Structure 1
Amino acid sequence: MASRTTTKVTHYHVQKKRRAEFLESWRANRRTVVTADDVTLHPSERGHRIGVYVGVDGDRPTRTMDAMVHEFDPGTTTTVHRHSWDAMVFVVGGWGWTEIDGERIEWGPGDSLHLPAWSWHRSGNEGETTARYLTFSSEPMLDTMGMSVLEDAGDADVADLPGRPPYTETMTGDDPYARRVRRLAREQDARRTGRLHTSWDDLELLPTPRGTRTTFLLDRAIGYQASGITMAMFEIAPGRAQSMHRHPGEAWLYVVEGNGHSYLGTEPEGGEKHPWKKGDLIIVDHFLWHQHLNDDPDHTAKVVRIHMFDSLLETMRVLTDPLVLFEEPPDHIRDAQAGDPTTVDWPEVVRPTWP
């Protein structure tokens, strides 16, 4: 006689319990500001030190992006590795180089780099002082789909390693399969020829109606081909603020220079204020109204902002349309909050220092 195994629990109850446990765990690990002092650096087998601002591997789980810090002593050369996700790099101190699929890129404080998915890469420091950079990657998003893959090749020469996964470049016909082949080939052609480096010396910060002056660091608008992660920097004038707004999804803000505080709340008033300083990471999430304020009356504050607007957040917007998922106050309130950035005597843009 055939036997059957039953749980006596409906799929409804299983899913409800699982979702409740997930949210409970998420809320227990939620942070608003991770300070530089909260990050512990660990020696790694790659030959450098690494620490986690936010990410599962540092016991601060996230769902779409992570943020890590890497330090390189003089004379360091890391192992070469690659992974199925891509990453953004922002250099906070020291001078060094990164090799991406055999192309060597020299970098210094304030520079930005893109490490494309499946690209072999390693970094080194041939200077006399410790070098330090941050990485922001889409690994958590790929992990939710079971697609996170990492391969370390030790000290191998990139010329001896396999290239990025091959793909079919073209196919004739107008059937859906042939159209898909050509579409994906065009996508890969574009992604494999994207920009890899932004030098601090080439940055131009421009005033915006939100009370700050800003510039792209890594974005498709300036030639990058990333997985939807975008990185920009904004500068807040002394004693001024960025206007309030809100959006869904995770966004990281790394404080490059200065000190201040951020307002976060479910409403434009009555929320909480969270202080921050140089080296801290501000975590904005959960569709909260937020505003970033510079508490220093004499010096500007510089903040690097990273989120996945071009992929995850845009997808959320169309899935929930006509709900509005990106909101700003009316122009007259925005202008009152931000002030006129054109009246600010902005200082010369100089490379950041660490510490």
Structure 2
Amino acid sequence: MVSRTTTKVSHYHVQKNRRANFIEEWRGYQKTVVTLENVPMVETARGTRVGVYVGADGDRPTRSMDALAHEIDPGVVSTVHRHSWDAMVLVVAGRGWTEIDGERIDWGPGDSLHLPAWAWHRSGNEGDVTARYVTFSSEPLLETMGMSVIEDAGHAPFSELAPRPAYSPEVTGDDPYARRLRRLARDQAARRSGRLHTDWDELELLPTPRGTRTTFLLDRATGYQASGISMAMFELGPGRGQSMHRHAGEAWLYVLEGSGHSYLGTEPEGGTNHPWKKGDLIVVDHFLWHQHFNDDPNQTAKVVRIHMFDSLLDTMRVLMDPMVLFEEPPEHIRDAQAGDITTIEWPEVKRPTWP
């Protein structure tokens, strides 16, 4: 058999060059802190303004998640659209509402919402100040598989919109195809019955061994059915820090309140400190050791952490086992870094303000 190629270069050299070029290109996109000032808000056809913290639609492409800011002026209702990926919403200013598959949810500062894949949704502002929220989605991951699809229906009423994609119901039988139909039907039924909204007033922050107090905003542990995206908030005491750790995969940290800095390095010592403030986004990547500090001696700092550990990282753990993809220092070092949080006078949990 005769084999021909048009590259005139061996398979080995083609792949080696492709991989090297890919890594070099993506390292050029790396930015540890994206400041609020570097996220210009631009008018869109939806009637809203949008700015890109990280994502291919700005100048900082990513591979698994993106992060965007949105603004809705008083009296504005966005167009209705849907997409093939999940998105998480964190409200940081103003009050408004979001309609998800015909269900209206009213929200205010600090609230969070889940926009399920293929769910029609639009947002509106009936107040007298501009509303602002940040979204985190799995669109980049779906794009890598050629499954990233979006559909805008203008201002059509929900009654005129097509439902989410149909799926076959459960069937009896013990053959592989029947098992697959049953498994996927149950999965879709579960995903379409998950929670959509967390009210700020429902939150309870609890202390952790890392020296912070934390709470889930959106997670499967609290009834959400997303594509692996998890959103939690941690609070740093005045002048205190979180213990060090590292993990694979992308993780975003949105600064909801306060100012401080983050240490990132390939080793526990000798890395770089990166300052941050309210409205900035901290990007943790490349399996770096990292530790976050509150530089204000009087006020706490609140940081919202977003990652895809329940899907992407779990897959990576299986593929790379026995390599450890999440690591903390020994408990005596962790506890020394975290300090005694029983001495912190935690303030009442109040809704965030803007700016």
The TM-score, its normalising length taken from structure 2, stands at 0.98
Find the counterpart in structure 2 of residue 272 from structure 1: 272
1:27-83: CA deviations, max 9, x gaps?
111100000000011000000100000001001010000000000000010000000
Cα distance change of structure 1 residues 295 and 5 upon mapping to structure 2, 3 Å threshold:
closer
Q: CA deviation at 1:344?
A: 1.1
Query: Pairwise mapping of residues 110-189 of structure 1 onto structure 2 (< 5 A)?
Result: 110-189=110-189
Cα distance change of structure 1 residues 308 and 4 upon mapping to structure 2, 3 Å threshold:
closer
User: Partners in 2 of 1:10 and 1:185 — Cα distance?
Assistant: 45
Q: Secondary structure at the match of 2:256?
A: strand
User: Partners in 1 of 2:107 and 2:25 — Cα distance?
Assistant: 39
User: Partners in 2 of 1:331 and 1:261 — Cα distance?
Assistant: 23
Q: Number of residue pairs matched?
A: 354
User: Partners in 2 of 1:270 and 1:228 — Cα distance?
Assistant: 33
Structure 2 portions without partners, runs of 5+: none
Find the counterpart in structure 1 of residue 322 from structure 2: 322
Structure 1 portions without partners, runs of 5+: none
Query: Pairwise mapping of residues 249-288 of structure 1 onto structure 2 (< 5 A)?
Result: 249-288=249-288
Comparing 121-130 with 313-322, greater Cα deviation is found at 313-322
The CA RMSD measured in Å over matched residues stands at 1.1
User: Partners in 2 of 1:187 and 1:286 — Cα distance?
Assistant: 32
1:103-156: CA deviations, max 9, x gaps?
000000000000000000000001000000000000000000000000000011
- 8 Å CA contact 2:170–2:186 kept in 1: the answer is no
Q: Secondary structure at the match of 2:329?
A: coil
User: Partners in 1 of 2:121 and 2:11 — Cα distance?
Assistant: 44
- 8 Å CA contact 1:47–1:76 kept in 2: the answer is yes
Find the counterpart in structure 2 of residue 74 from structure 1: 74
Find the counterpart in structure 2 of residue 295 from structure 1: 295
Residue identity in the other structure for 1:243:
S
User: Partners in 1 of 2:267 and 2:299 — Cα distance?
Assistant: 29
Cα distance change of structure 1 residues 5 and 17 upon mapping to structure 2, 3 Å threshold:
closer
Residue identity in the other structure for 2:52:
V
Q: Does 1:49 align with 2:64?
A: no
Cα distance change of structure 1 residues 4 and 274 upon mapping to structure 2, 3 Å threshold:
closer
- 8 Å CA contact 2:253–2:305 kept in 1: the answer is yes
The TM-score, its normalising length taken from structure 1, stands at 0.98
Q: Does 1:99 align with 2:96?
A: no
Find the counterpart in structure 2 of residue 40 from structure 1: 40
Q: Secondary structure at the match of 2:335?
A: helix
User: Partners in 1 of 2:177 and 2:163 — Cα distance?
Assistant: 25
- 8 Å CA contact 2:251–2:283 kept in 1: the answer is yes
Q: Secondary structure at the match of 1:334?
A: helix
User: Partners in 2 of 1:196 and 1:141 — Cα distance?
Assistant: 22
User: Partners in 2 of 1:6 and 1:320 — Cα distance?
Assistant: 34
Find the counterpart in structure 1 of residue 210 from structure 2: 210
Residue identity in the other structure for 1:217:
L
Comparing 70-79 with 8-17, greater Cα deviation is found at 8-17
Find the counterpart in structure 2 of residue 25 from structure 1: 25
User: Partners in 2 of 1:148 and 1:222 — Cα distance?
Assistant: 27
1:275-329: CA deviations, max 9, x gaps?
0000000000000000000000000000000000100011111111111110001
Q: CA deviation at 1:170?
A: 1.4
User: Partners in 2 of 1:6 and 1:304 — Cα distance?
Assistant: 50
Find the counterpart in structure 1 of residue 89 from structure 2: 89
Find the counterpart in structure 2 of residue 306 from structure 1: 306
- 8 Å CA contact 1:209–1:340 kept in 2: the answer is no
Q: Secondary structure at the match of 2:297?
A: coil
1:205-256: CA deviations, max 9, x gaps?
0000100000000000000000000000000000100000000000000000
Cα distance change of structure 1 residues 100 and 310 upon mapping to structure 2, 3 Å threshold:
same
User: Partners in 2 of 1:269 and 1:129 — Cα distance?
Assistant: 46
Find the counterpart in structure 2 of residue 231 from structure 1: 231
Give the % identical residues: 77
Comparing 28-37 with 312-321, greater Cα deviation is found at 312-321
User: Partners in 1 of 2:238 and 2:124 — Cα distance?
Assistant: 36
User: Partners in 2 of 1:228 and 1:183 — Cα distance?
Assistant: 18
Cα distance change of structure 1 residues 5 and 217 upon mapping to structure 2, 3 Å threshold:
closer
User: Partners in 2 of 1:165 and 1:191 — Cα distance?
Assistant: 13
